[in-house]
Amino acid sequence: MKIESVTAHPLRTELETPFAFSQGWVRARCATLVEIRTNDGLVGWGEAFCQGLEAPEISATIIRDCFAWMITGQSPLDTERLWFEMYNRSRDFGRKGSVMAAISAIDTALWDIAGKAYGRPVWQLLGGAFRREVEPYATGFYRVTGQGEAARLVEEAQMHRERGFRFMKVKIGFGVEDDIEVMNAIHAAMEGSGITLMVDANHAYGRAEAVYLGEAMADMGLRWFEEPVVPEDLESYAHLRGRLPMAIAGGENEHGLYGFNALFRSGAVDIAQPDIGSCGGITGMRHIMALAQASGIEVNPHVWGSSVAQAASLQVIAALPDAHHALFARQPILEYDQSAHPFRNDLTTRPMTMKEGRVAIPDAPGLGIEVRRDTVEAYRI
């Protein structure tokens, strides 16, 4: 079996209501998909993580101009070998960002093909499922005007609770005092209802502000404080981890086994959040899972992509060992973005759904999805 074609599909749809996270206003949802075909007629799909402020054409161009020709004609089952070939041959201009996102997309599509070739879900190829379902957490709480939205965000929390979520992640990073007002309001409204909160600053702060904010939230029982400072500032990460009571999480903007090795060796995080679409794909995730296990660090994947990335993320969550083994070991929770996103509901024939507060992990071959070509064509740039 040989790789016959590698096609990038950059997708874009304008949002009716733009929303903000701490780094800017998101006016469109985008996705970069890759479709790989073999000479046997198998098709694999992968996705490059497209950040809210990133143009999907960037990874698409890298897939097309940098890697498509490199892997065409090779065996799609050589996932590890092709990962290193792509990584090594792009090292001098890659290693991070969109180049790694392009590698991630291709690698995920190769694993999808491998699963279809062997007739097994990806989690089986990874060594088996530690779990066949996962509890999702609501990611949302984006801003529509900017600051001063505490009352509206409390209403959003109540909506997530009514829909059956027990975990919620609140976007912060809109000024320390505004964040504290929002978190005090949501925490007070949710108190006593069995809801666990997390916060995500999207690296809005420096060390001093992050300490001040973290101390103000010390008694909220937060499961984690995500990306308090910029991803490059590993020293501040380590400082916060020693100083604040809650777990420090990060890694959605880190890449590959080398990047995560540096993150772990610097003592930066309690919880690593690799994104399947930028950490190096399934192969990258496998490397990071082993590194994390050896470092005593919990892996809780980040996912903000389309239903392709969600499906791939579910496969690795199934195969993720407990970080700290115990009879009642804490389980990973699934990031379930609650913002408007047509690439979630209409892109695959079996979009991810929550039933009774849980998301089932499919056992169909590969990623367990069929991509709808009509949706790809409708939104393709």
Which residues are paired to 167 by β-bridges?
Answer: 196
Residue nearest to Ca ion (CB): 200
When the beta carbons of 52 and 175 are compared against Ca ion, the nearer one is: 52
Identify the residue whose tokens are 């799909």: 45
9 catalytic? Reply is no
* Part in contact with Ca ion (CB under 5 A); list of ranges 81-89, 178-186, 194-202, 357-365: 194-202
Contacting residues for 65 by C-beta, under 8 A, at least 6 apart: none
Residue 115's nearest CA partner among 370, 365, 368 is: 365
Q: How far is the CB of 269 from Ca ion (least distance, A)?
A: 13
337 belongs to the binding site for Ca ion (CB under 5 A) = no
d(CA 280, CA 83): 8
Q: How far is the CB of 332 from Ca ion (least distance, A)?
A: 15
Asked whether the beta carbons of 228 and 203 are under 8 A apart, the reply is yes
When the beta carbons of 68 and 199 are compared against Ca ion, the nearer one is: 199
**Other residues' Cβ atoms within 10 Å of the Cβ of residue 192:** 7
Which residues are paired to 30 by β-bridges?
Answer: 12
Q: Which position among 203, 302, 324, 325 bears the catalytic label?
A: 302
Helix (H, G, I), strand (E, B) or coil at 333: strand
* Part in contact with Ca ion (CB under 5 A); list of ranges 106-114, 197-205, 276-284, 364-372: 197-205
When the beta carbons of 112 and 200 are compared against Ca ion, the nearer one is: 200
d(CA 315, CA 129): 8
Q: How far is the CB of 234 from Ca ion (least distance, A)?
A: 17
d(CA 23, CA 172): 11
By CB under 5 A, name the one of 112, 200, 254, 275 that touches Ca ion: 200
When the beta carbons of 116 and 341 are compared against Ca ion, the nearer one is: 341
When the beta carbons of 1 and 26 are compared against Ca ion, the nearer one is: 26
Q: How far is the CB of 21 from Ca ion (least distance, A)?
A: 8
Q: How far is the CB of 275 from Ca ion (least distance, A)?
A: 9
Helix (H, G, I), strand (E, B) or coil at 20: strand
| Residues taking part in catalysis | 302
Q: Site residues (CB under 5 A) for Ca ion?
A: 200
